[in-house]
Chain A
Amino acid sequence: MNEQKATRRRQAKGTSEFRQNDKKTQSQYQPYKDAEWGFINHWYPALFSEELAEDQVEGIQICGVQIVLRRVDGRIHALKDQCIHRGVRLSAKPMCFNKETISCWYHGFTYNLESGNLDTIVGNPDDKVIGTVGLTTYPVEEVGGMIFVFVRDDDFPDEDVPPLAHDLPVRFPEKSEEFPHPLWPAAPSILDDNIVARGIHRTGEANWRIACENGFDNAHILVHKDNTIVQAYNWTLPLGIRPVSDDCITSFEEEGAPKGMMQWLFSDRWEPVLENKQLGVKIEGANSRFYRTSVVLPGVLLVENWPEEHIAQYEWYVPITDDTYEYWEVLLKVCPTDKEKEAFNYRYDRVFEPLCIRGFNDCDLYAREAMQDFYGDGSGWESEVLVDTDISPIMWRKLASKHNRGIAKQPAGVQGNVKASSIRLKNLAAGKAPGYLVDKIDD
């Protein structure tokens, strides 16, 4: 036996302790709680098309996976952004000698953009390792002015990659019969012809699940009560919306289609609360603002009829690390003519971006940040006290536990894994917060 006397492991991290509790509570959404770094083997937005010009190289991180993107002859290639040799990010100092490859700027390991294989080494072209190793590649789709990547495990087979549409919100009018919307016209989709998608993405300091749940939590509209756009338009945005029927949420789980749930807001299944007599609070707004939220895996929100008719808002909360996410806010409108396109762009720039995308949704950003400490060490999932409006996050957690294509493991050797690394501290001291895009080397 062992020479030394065996001793118990130290309870190293708070999480292991809570994990054990989880087992006892037999939580139905344990897999969701395990998904600190996100759900892998899903489609995520990577960049807006305009952020990646011809021959441009950018580095991003999703679910702890570093990815480098390069556009060649219009087509986008995505590879793991971590040289197999010494782990350097190729995107930190892009070096491309031709249209077929990308080279590591450090020791010259050169990878085929199509296959990811190590094609040559700049200063060592006869090395035996050439042709025997490579980097994982990621399928890419570009639609509606957005670039999507399929972020996958290294061993996830090409033939199993589902269509992008399976990880996007449900479409209308295709679903208008299943999910009628008598109070507003059919919502546009990023997959529609002539779609114009305008929006921003920015980094939020919270776990992605906290962010995602905020998006469709029907009690959270209280934080928007005093927003400029609400007051300017004199909207009757309720203090809260309560479920009053057992069919207030419908899940959709068919094979070969998006998996998620629809909330029947502004129907008789949910009751808007406009007044709290005890507190003397009352919503006085005169203009109805009907909307409806649905969410699909891996965490994509659709807000129909928002902020105006014929417009929809999409949101993603793309995990970067376990405590940062890239918040995507995109407004969509079908604009068949240049005139309509111009009008939408003008309105986006003058009204929607300042008042909705920033003004309104800024509140969501700080609300998520405010929850992060409670959930960040894993304890919040155990100690939260939920009420009837929380049926939405609970349903979502169960659905996500069931239909995700994989739980991202804590990554190895990537930025953000070591929270207080010297590089991170140096960047902070220089005024650069941890973010989504690679820090390019100034030469």
Chain B
Amino acid sequence: MQFSDDVIYTVDVAEGEGILAAALAQDVPVLHQCQSGSCGSCVCHLAAGKVEMRKDMSASLLKSEQDAGMRLACISQAFSDSVLDFDYDSKMGEKGPINVTVFIDSIDWLSDDVIRLNVELADGQWFDFKPGQFAQIQVPGTNQVRRYSMSSSPEDLPKIEFLIRILPEGLMSDYIRDTAKVDDALEIEGAFGSFFLRDISAREPHIMIAGGTGLAPIMSMLDAIRKKNGIKPSILLSFGCLNSSSLFHVDELELRTDWMPTLKTRISLNQGEAENNIIIGNPLQALQPSDVTAEDTVAYLCGPPGMISAAHSMLEGFGLKPENIHAEQFVASE
């Protein structure tokens, strides 16, 4: 197992044993969370050998990602001596996730189906995360947890913000919509996920693509870059929602472009009429090959699986290197 800081671990994996389980047992700092093939935290790239994911478990990796050599370590088994690449620093996973209590500061409707939840860490508690990572929030009164990306940046701690998509029915949706109130305590665990801003000081142009509340981790990245002093990279964000009643954060994005002249945004709606610079279509259709001006352009994508898959091939077609495309599939938590 090779990490981006050239730290290499050799792990013995028994026949039929899960690679993640073996790695964790041998103290290899692999990021992980669900251990069941869904969250995508333990994603890695098969550089050599034969590693296959179990056929009897569902994986959140796209076919195209699997074909490109990507594997989820938690549901993978080794069939020969193999080399797996993890595209983050080996120190990332050394500090495991922790449990903390937060208190609700505010609950605001941003659109027909998105709520902004602002919370604050309890007195004396702390929580570290990288921009783009997520936390698990326990639904009060149950033992169920739901995953949400932090939309605020680490600089905003002890304040944390989440963007919550409210579904007509769902455990967390019902709680947030009907029960939650200011000063309520929530138990959260984190941080998780290997979708995070790789280099806060990067100068290479950035392309960011977000669909719906997939904007949350992207907002965290934007604010982290903005708050890092000095010269900023050029950033093109393409953000799309279904229609005008589900659209949110237009004002927040406008503020970001005011504050950070190197940021350009394009906003698209799948349905509706073109007005106020809004593009009709999906956030991928809002991008053209000419938007990629450098071959070392870095991309961060967060949205529904279909969008991610299409974005991958589109950006590669535009000349981006596959290793510079970082993606997280977003599935609304109920």
Any chain A CB within 8 A of the CB of B67? no
Tell me which of B121, B123, B229, B258 contacts A156 (CB under 8 A): B229
Nearest-Cβ distance from residue A412 to partner chain B, whole angstroms: 16
Which residues 184-228 of B sit at the A interface, judged by CB distance below 8 A?
A: 185, 187, 201, 227
Known: A1-B187, A8-B123, A153-B230. A26 touches B251 (CB 8 A): yes
Instruction: From the candidates A8, A26, A155, A160, name the one contacting B120 in the complex (CB within 8 A).
Output: A8
B231 at the binding interface (Cβ < 8 Å)? yes
Q: Mark A2-38, 1 if CB is under 8 A from B, else 0.
A: 1000111110000000001001001010110000000
Q: Indicate if B103 sits at the interface (CB-CB under 8 A).
A: yes
Chain A contacts with B in 216-252, Cβ cutoff 8 A: none
Q: Is B7 an interface residue (CB 8 A)?
A: no
A398 interface neighbour in B252, B258, B260, Cβ under 8 Å: B258
Which residues of the partner chain B approach A153 to less than 8 Å between Cβ atoms?
229-230
Q: Bound state CA distance, A20 and B227, in angstroms?
A: 17
Contacts of A6 in B (CB 8 A): 101, 122-123, 125, 185
Asked whether B158 is an interface residue with its Cβ less than 8 Å from the other chain, the reply is yes
Q: How far is the CA of A157 from the CA of B230 in the complex (A)?
A: 9
Name the residue of chain B whose CB is nearest to the CB of A28. B258
Q: Which residues of B sit under 8 angstroms from A31, Cβ to Cβ?
A: 259
Determine the chain A residues whose CB is within 8 A of the CB of B99 once the complex forms.
1-2
Instruction: Report yes or no: B123 in contact with A7, Cβ–Cβ below 8 A.
Output: yes
Q: Is B25 an interface residue (CB 8 A)?
A: no
Tell whether, in the assembled complex, residue B252 and residue A26 are in contact, meaning their CB atoms are under 8 Å apart. yes
Of A53-61, A163-171, A195-203, A402-410, the stretch lying at the interface with chain B is A402-410
| Chain B residue, CB-CB nearest to A160 | B231
Contacts of B252 in A (CB 8 A): 26
Interface of A is mostly: loop
B49 at the A interface (CB under 8 A): no
A41 at the interface (CB under 8 A from B): yes
> Are A407 and B125 in contact, with the CB atoms below 8 A?
no
> In the assembly, what is the distance between CA of A403 and CA of B260, in Å?
8
In the assembled complex, the Cα of A153 lies from the Cα of B230 at a distance in Å of 8
Q: Does A401 reach chain B (CB closer than 8 Å)?
A: yes
Which B-chain residue is minimally distant from A24 (CB atoms)? Answer: B106
B140 to chain A, nearest CB (A): 13
Pick the contact of B230 from A7, A160, A402 — CB < 8 Å?
A160
Neighbouring A residues of B261 by C-beta, 8 Å: 253, 402-403
- B230 contact set on A, CB distance < 8 A: 41, 153, 155-157, 160, 405-406
User: Do residues B122 and A26 form an inter-chain contact, with CB atoms below 8 A?
Assistant: no
Task: Give the residues in chain A near B103, CB-CB below 8 Å.
Answer: 8
State whether the Cβ of B87 lies closer than 8 Å to any Cβ in chain A. Answer: no
**How close is A167's CB to chain B, nearest CB, in angstroms?**
15
User: Chain B contacts of A265 at CB under 8 A?
Assistant: none
Residue of B123, B187, B259 contacting most chain A CB atoms (<10 Å): B259
18 further contact pairs, Cβ within 8 A, besides A8-B122, A9-B158, A20-B159: A1-B187, A6-B185, A7-B123, A8-B120, A9-B120, A9-B122, A10-B123, A23-B118, A30-B259, A155-B201, A160-B231, A398-B258, A402-B259, A405-B229, A405-B231, A406-B229, A407-B227, A407-B229
Task: Give chain B's interface residues, CB within 8 Å of chain A.
Answer: 99, 101, 103, 105, 118, 120-123, 125, 158-159, 183, 185, 187, 201, 227, 229-231, 251-252, 255, 258-261
Which chain A residues have a beta carbon within 8 Å of chain B's beta carbons? 1-2, 6-10, 20, 23, 26, 28, 30-31, 40-41, 153, 155-157, 160, 253, 398, 401-403, 405-407
Q: Which 5 A-B pairs have the closest CB atoms?
A: A406-B229, A6-B101, A6-B122, A9-B123, A7-B123
